[in-house]
């Protein structure tokens, strides 16, 4: 499989994942997402979950539908979004809030390592640069 096809597939999977996560913010996982909202956020927890869900649906759709010219910018926006919501993962760990099956300190701590992976995924799947071969 060509690198271009791998990147496109990865971008679409990430976009679909964001759309699914956004829908879950608005429906069946709303309570779990409230557990991730840091106390310093000046909005009601439920409002924050709704707004972030809408943002995820829009961002996921943008990743899926981005044309060649826009995809790198959309990838950077997705990476920034994943960075911006990272304090929620930290808050869940620090405040020992159980949600999404993360019911131990170890599980909540391990979850922290997935956010940087999402940032990398967003950037790598949308970058214009191809792999460089180092000799």
Q: What is the pLDDT of residue 135?
A: 42
Does residue 28 belong to any structural domain of this protein? yes
Task: Give the ranges where 3-133 is alpha helix by DSSP (H).
Answer: 3-26, 30-34, 45-65, 71-84, 86-94, 105-111, 114-126
- What's the rounded Cα separation, in Å, for the pair 94 and 114? 16
Q: What is the pLDDT of residues 73-99, one digit of tens each?
A: 999 999 999 999 999 999 999 999 999
Does residue 93 belong to any structural domain of this protein? yes
The secondary element (H helix, E strand) that includes residue 37 is none
Q: What angle do CA 95, 100, 102 make, to 5 degrees?
A: 50
Lowest mean pLDDT of 12-16, 28-32, 71-75, 130-134, name the range. 130-134
Does residue 9 belong to any structural domain of this protein? yes
Domain count, the chain: 1
Does residue 132 belong to any structural domain of this protein? no
Q: Which domain holds residue 102?
A: 3-126
pLDDT band of 131, cuts 50, 70, 90: low
- What's the rounded Cα separation, in Å, for the pair 59 and 40? 24
Does residue 37 belong to any structural domain of this protein? yes
């Amino acid at each position: 499989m060509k690198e271009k096809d791998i990147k496109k597939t990865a971008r679409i999977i990430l976009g679909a994942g964001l759309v699914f996560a956004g829908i879950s913010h608005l429906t069946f996982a709303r309570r779990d997402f409230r557990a991730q909202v840091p106390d310093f956020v000046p909005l009601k927890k439920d409002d924050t979950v709704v707004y972030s869900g809408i943002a995820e649906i829009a961002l996921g759709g943008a990743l899926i539908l981005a044309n060649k010219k826009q995809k790198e910018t959309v990838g950077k926006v997705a990476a920034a979004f994943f960075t911006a919501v990272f304090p929620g993962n930290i808050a869940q760990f620090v405040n020992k809030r159980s949600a999404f099956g993360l019911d131990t300190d170890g599980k909540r701590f391990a979850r922290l390592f997935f956010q940087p992976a999402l940032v990398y995924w967003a950037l790598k799947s949308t970058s214009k640069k191809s792999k460089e071969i180092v000799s």
